[in-house]
Amino acid sequence: MIFSQFIPVDSKSVTITNQEKLHKIMGLIIDKLYNNPELLNLTTHKDEAYQSHEVNNMKPELDRIYQSVFKSLYEFYKFLYITALHGELKINYLIVSNMVLKNYRTGYKPQYNTLLNEVGIEAIKNKTEVSITSSDDGLLQSLKILAEKVPVNINQWTPYALANFACCAYKNDFNYLLERADTVNNLNGLLLDMQENALAKGYKQSIRCNMGATGFDFNISLKNTIGGFLIGYNPRKYKPFYFGTENGIGEKTMIEDFNNLDKELQEHFIKVCKICNSCLICTKGGKNKIFASNVIHNGKEYNLCPSYPRHSWESIDEHLMNVLYKYHDAQEKYGVDWKKK
């Protein structure tokens, strides 16, 4: 889902052709693992996932299976990354000392060579060092430049740096994820329209991929001054995508001023807010007043609780997108106290 489109970087030492060769090899590694998980000792359990309302601790056995897969992938790619970044490049060889690998909390496992052999690469370990060899020296040069292009120190922000490397994103450009999410969810360009309109309105875009030992995912944020759109991907779920808004800042004040809200925004709050059931959690043991507010909509009274509103959906359509634009605009008005902070 998140493997990159090929976008080369300017380099005096590595040709575009060699960069493209490595991009194909990194993609081939994923294909090989998909067709034969045992190449990296990954689990061969049947396909299973969480429902949208379920969290990890609701199925601890499944969580352990997921984490075993994430950890194996993470350790393999970290070994490859550290070797490429800190290894010494020679003709057809990339050599790194065992001490360097240890210092970066990674290391060689014989299983890595089993997988790398599938794509024409050999990894060999002796008492002092590990060497990676290939009949194509341009491939190893490309691997090194890919590692060097990762934007941050891996021991500082490991999950984000490693995603760039594993996805073979030379320019660390993940813009393709928005179009990919749109295509997979059959949205016919809606997310691209959202991006275009939001950027024209002054929203700021950020895309972050995470690849850690306990999970991998991505999120795309189109942020207004206070709120904004959030598009995410969680591979643990049967329906892995979610669409919604960044936060609920200003909602309590909006509901208190319900009669002055846009009609569509009123209907939105009726749909996404729970009715107060007197749980009194919002009072923090009597320190606060109850957050819920009585409102009247279409002649019917509702006691809306702003503490647990819905902020994400498994899909999105044009109507919801337009309502969320109004919601974000309202946040600029009703979240003003937060904005001052």
pLDDT higher than threshold 90 for residue 28 = yes
Q: What is the dihedral of CA 204, 192, 166, 81, to 10 degrees?
A: -30
**Mean pLDDT (whole number) for 279-297:** 83
Domain range annotation of the chain: 16-166, 176-340
Confidence band for 135, pLDDT divided at 50, 70 and 90 = confident
Q: What is the dihedral of CA 270, 274, 275, 281, to 10 degrees?
A: -140
- Residue 279: the pLDDT is 82
C-alpha Rg value of the chain to the nearest Å: 24
Whether this model's pTM surpasses 0.75: yes
CA-wise closest residue to 121 among 101, 137, 102 = 137
- Residue 90: the pLDDT is 87
pLDDT higher than threshold 90 for residue 208 = no
- Residue 155: the pLDDT is 54
CA-wise closest residue to 218 among 195, 240, 192 = 240
Cα–Cα distances (Å) from 80 to 97, 245, 247, in that order, read 13, 36, 37
Model confidence pLDDT, tens digit, residues 149-189: 876 655 555 556 788 899 999 988 888 999 999 999 999 99
Confidence band for 53, pLDDT divided at 50, 70 and 90 = confident
- Residue 284: the pLDDT is 78
Full 3-state SS string of 68-133? HHHHHHHHHHHHHHHHHHHCEEECCEEEEEHHHHHHCCCCCCHHHHHHHHCCCEEEEECCCEEEEE
